Structure 1
Amino acid sequence: MSSRLITHWAEHDSAVQEILERSPSRLLIFDEDLSALKLERPERIAALSRLLSCEQASKQLTIVVQKAEFVRQYSPRLMALLAVHAPVLTIIHAPPHLEALTDSLLIADGKHALVRFHRDHARCRQIIDDVEECQPYAKRFDEILGEGGDRLSAITLGL
């Protein structure tokens, strides 16, 4: 069980990858637009693919974003995963009244987390193997998710 404060973007990037690797069945993400998490990197898409392809019945990847256009336009690999794994991968565009939130959450299996305190800064807390310390952040994610929002679809509708 450990927790550490991170203040540099390079450390943040390493911590994101570590949390993704430590997520065997359930990953929860709340972020402005996913740009700082760099989920389009091949190694991160591979980690997400492993999670979504695992044999566990309880596997889940839930993402809540405040700005869905960035995801639609600049995350083709993530959208491709959504097309294949839609039942267990959900991407939700948060309702407008949540735009004032400035933090970011990355929670793996309820016991590992990366909590960025403000979306414009690298300052964050990395939590490894501590259910008790992750619990308030998981509750916050559930509250955000409970506010509703629109699900993104990998299918483009139109003429």
Structure 2
Amino acid sequence: MDRQTFDTRAGFQAQLDECLSRATLTLAMFDPDYGWWELGGVHSDALLRTFLRQGGRLQLAAHSNAKLERDAPRFLRLLRDYSHLIECRLTNRTLHQLTDSFCVADERHVVRRFHSDHFRGEAIFDDPSSTQTPLERFQGIWTETQPGLHANVTGL
């Protein structure tokens, strides 16, 4: 097990990049709006394209997709190119009080921020037991979602 803590945007992004680079099968992500995730950045795009090219599946749950639609054109192209492997969903209003943020890769790696307004968090790699609670939380959130972002909705 490898555990790292962070409390800056750069620290969060470095740990998220590490998590994305280790993913081979699944990525399950939750954030209220992905505003700080840099999913539309060149480096994240390259990591996600590699993951998806190898057949990985990406699930994103959010309260709102507005920031991704407005600020992440590379992610929208990624969604268009790999729509069969990416599912973006929106939470019901009853879950809008949820403010944490996390990414779980392959049921072995997790990066989480304790509150989406702050960068304080932790990353744990190569420890399936540390992903059990976040995965259960993700499944609970996922069951309370509806279809969200689609490549064709944004005109791509």
TM-score w.r.t. the length of structure 1 is 0.91
Counterpart residue type for residue 20 of structure 2: L
Q: Percent identity, please.
A: 28
Aligned residues: 155
Partner of 1:24: 24
Cα shift at 1:36: 1.1
1:41-120 equivalences in 2 (<5 Å): 41-54=41-54, 56=55, 59-120=56-117
Q: Choose which of 123, 127, 135 in structure 2 pairs with 1:126.
A: 123
User: For 1:94-142, what per-residue CA distance to the aligned partner results, in whole angstroms no more than 9, with x for missing partners?
Assistant: 2221111000011111111101100111111111100011111111111
One-letter code aligned to 1:37: W
Gaps of 5+ in 1: none
Alignment correspondent of 1:39:
39
Asked if the contact 2:110–2:130 (Cα under 8 Å) also holds between the matched residues in 1, the reply is no
RMSD in angstroms over aligned alpha carbons?
A: 1.5
- For 1:22 and 1:130, how far apart are their aligned partners in 2? 13
Q: What is the alpha-carbon distance in structure 2 between the residues aligned to residue 83 and residue 42 of structure 1? A: 16
Of residues 112-121 and 68-77 in structure 1, the stretch that sits farther from structure 2 once superposed is 68-77
Tell me the SS of whatever aligns to 1:149: strand
Poorly superposed stretches of 4+, deviation over 4 Å = none
Q: Is the 8 A contact 1:95 1:150 kept in 2?
A: no
Whether the aligned pair in 2 keeps the contact of 1:29 and 1:63 (CA below 8 Å) is yes
**1 CA distance for matches of 2:51 and 2:42?**
14
| Alignment CA distance shift 1:5-1:81 (3 Å) | same
Point out where structure 2 has 5 or more consecutive residues left out of the alignment. none
